[in-house]
Structure 1
């Protein structure tokens, strides 16, 4: 038992700080090494480790990553970013457009892929207009996390939670969609107020970035739109298993005459899939000790019940900024036992982990992507600058979401 606890603690320590102390091992590496260590130490048998992996979640996530990746390879994301950034409107209005586009795309496609694909071009075109990219990138990141919280397919943690709670696409959206929409004007108001009169850069960037001209493959984009629409319609209809729907869409897009399948598959975040596999195994090994069940029983006795939506909302919010949103959901979801409140629990965990992701840079993968991509383009977004906007955005959206969950 002590060996299992030590391995589990080390894995989630890396989840929290991002890297194993004294070693060049990141979160994904820690999850994989931890899973292997659990098997070698006898904390979990090879067969039990295999059985612990939820292939439905992995299939759904992989399929949707391929669908979203097809939009990247066809040039759609870059084209959309360029068109949005070149609109002849005021900076405040442009900020609203950034928020709407980010939330809309992230709610229907994987938010991390959307952010990864569009951030560099948004920086370059903002600089070409003489604008300060920072407020637009912050708004884009915050809206991606907030908008993704509203649908089952918006983020990996939503997919994990929905599978655990057996929520359909429609049930999930009805529970979390309204607060996701309400969060968008909150994001706009805070950033527009903070950056009023500061829409332009005070000093030129050290590394200038030229505007990028993007070639849109209309045929492949049309095909991607048709397939993505069919996948979403099938998910709404809820007739077939959703992982099969996503995988079918991915298969259709990979069979292509003009785009190489390897180029589309490059857009799949293999590290994230491996991280999730590793955490499935580590979490099951810990569960085999009986300690988590004992802990949750004790918490229930002192008045903290994770199967109460508001308690789950608070727990998810706090854990998300300690170990990350995906690990937080994976820690909590196996111990959720919904009876008549599955939708409330789904909203609680999705909104709690989604909205709290905007607190600090490392609260979400989207935040890390935006900051690193901006830095590669010569734009620095400091921890303080991110938190200056992220803290009020997070607090206000969480208060609003908490009121919504109480209403449910």
Structure 2
């Protein structure tokens, strides 16, 4: 077997498992090592490797991460989590507020960043109220994954698809917004049904012994929050009403947020998920090296010969759904996007790609970065969410949302 294929398979094995068997190498490490190995073995030149990295996508994601990070530094996420979780309502009503909050924020502030900021707060606040944090964490996680489908800027995979296919912001939203909105009550209803009678810690067999129960206190910086909100609105407006390059809009917005007399730029940049950016850069190189072998093109050609039409949104949805739960949603889009036809229905294809990777990503923990973040951050705070617990809620939520998506795609076509 060619060394290129071996490196590729090892990288994607690590993406599927979360680590490289026998080594303490995580997903990001595997992608970086794989890219360097491709260069070292001469499977791709250093110039070709640099050229393979889509800096438009990386720049867009980095810029939006900085803007979202400004909300973290200003205390907005902490304030919002405290306001929502302190509402004197029943647990199902509280979950409804969190689902709407997660879905709404992820559509404009990127789901992974929202999850990173909110997970520790939700653990603290639910525990302080004597509530079982698991249904609230899972409901919030599921909602951010499905809600992020609504816009191009909702998730990294949406951005990758948009940059590859040249999707318009409004065209994408027209075909993706409705199913994203409908998915939120689906998530809420499924989690409520599954966790009925298990809302309180007293109803849970084992109380997490080391969970933090004190709600974090951080004063809301109103001026910085308003500034971040104005910049966010300006970014969305530029995406909708201008043809300016999206990555330049996002990077310009990031520059505005970093120039500040009150908040350190280092503090804002510290909220950026550098691991995700490195992961994407490494995968661009690894995928480009494999593409030079001609193997991906042959596989796609063979699939098309067998009747798998990537120009059909329903088929693309099913392929993306399956692939995202093998290697993760971002890598799945990166593998599929180069082979999608640039036809008149690119908006529908982009939406199918986003729906497939977004709606199916709640099936298992490593189906999305959001799921991994929730489980790992909860574990660090004494709340264990195993694969069985995650799938107990994730499987029905995923199946219901996928049926919804297929019905919507059938309606569009």
TM range (shorter): over 0.9
Alpha-carbon distance in 2 for matches of 1:34, 1:210: 42
In 2, the alpha carbon distance for the partners of 1:210 and 1:267 equals 23
What is the match of residue 122 of structure 1?
A: 122
Q: Which runs of 5+ in 2 are unaligned?
A: none
**Stretch deviating more after TM superposition (31-40 or 79-88):** 31-40
Q: Contact 2:152–2:159 (CA<8 Å) still a contact in 1? A: yes
Residues 1:354 and 2:361 aligned together? no
CA distance in 2, matches of 1:118, 1:264: 16
Q: Is the 8 A contact 1:141 1:367 kept in 2?
A: yes
| Aligned: 1:304 with 2:308 | yes
Match of 1:182 in 2: 182
Aligned to 1:205: 208
State how far apart, in whole Å, the 2-side matches of 1:238 and 1:168 are: 10
Q: Counterparts of 2:200 and 2:406 in 1: how far apart (Å)?
A: 36
Per the alignment, residue 393 of structure 2 pairs with 389
| Per-residue Cα deviation, 1:305-350 (whole angstroms, up to 9, x for no partner) | 2222111111110110100001000000011113111011111110
User: Which runs of structure 2 are paired with 1:231-310 in the superposition (5 Å)?
Assistant: 231-310=235-314
User: Quick one: which of 230, 233, 247 aligns to 1:229?
Assistant: 233
Distance in 2 (alpha carbons) for counterparts of 1:116 and 1:39: 33
Distance across 2 between alignment mates of 1:87 and 1:255: 36
CA distance in 2: counterparts of 1:378 and 1:13, whole angstroms = 29
The more displaced of 205-214 and 306-315 is: 205-214
Residues 1:335 and 2:339 are matched in the alignment: yes
Partner of 1:99: 99
- Say yes or no: does 1:170 pair with 2:170: yes
Distance (whole Å) between structure 1 residues aligned to residue 33 and residue 198 of structure 2: 46
Contact 2:71 2:77 survives alignment (8 Å): yes
Structure 1 position 156, deviation (Å): 0.3
Preserved CA contact (<8 Å) 1:296 1:305: no
Separation in structure 2 between the aligned mates of residue 124 and residue 35 of structure 1, nearest angstrom: 39
- TM-fit CA distance, 1:383: 1.4
Q: 2:323 aligns with which of 305, 319, 333?
A: 319
- Give the C-alpha shift of residue 232 in structure 1: 1.1
Shift of 1:211: 2.0
Q: Secondary structure at the match of 1:259?
A: coil
1:13 alignment partner in structure 2: 13
Q: CA deviation at 1:134?
A: 1.0
When normalised by structure 2's length, the TM-score is 0.97
Any unmatched runs of 5+ in structure 1?
Answer: none
Q: Is the 8 A contact 2:310 2:341 kept in 1?
A: no
Q: Which stretch has the larger CA shift, 355-364 or 198-207?
A: 198-207
- Structure 1 residue matching 2:216: 3-state secondary structure: coil
Select between 54-63 and 301-310 the one with higher mean Cα deviation.
301-310
1:54 aligns to what? 54
C-alpha displacement of 1:86? 0.3
> Does the 8 Å CA contact 2:168/2:347 hold for their aligned counterparts?
no
Any idea what SS the aligned residue of 1:337 has?
A: coil
Residues 338, 345 of structure 1: 8 Å contact kept: no
The alpha-carbon deviation at position 131 of structure 1 amounts to: 1.3
TM-score w.r.t. structure 1 length? 0.98
In 2: Cα distance, 1:217 partner to 1:34 partner: 43
1:110 is aligned to 2:110: yes
User: Quick one: distance in 1 between partners of 2:101 and 2:238?
Assistant: 23
Question: Partner of 1:43 in structure 2?
Answer: 43
8 A Cα contact 1:16 1:324, kept in partner: yes
- 1:97-156 residue CA offsets vs partner (Å, 9 max, x unmatched): 000000000000011111111111111111122211111111000000000011100000
Correspondence list, 1:155-166, <5 A: 155-166=155-166
Q: 1-side partners of 2:372 and 2:365: how far apart?
A: 6
Give the Å deviation of 1:52. 1.0
Alpha-carbon distance in 1 for matches of 2:319, 2:167: 20
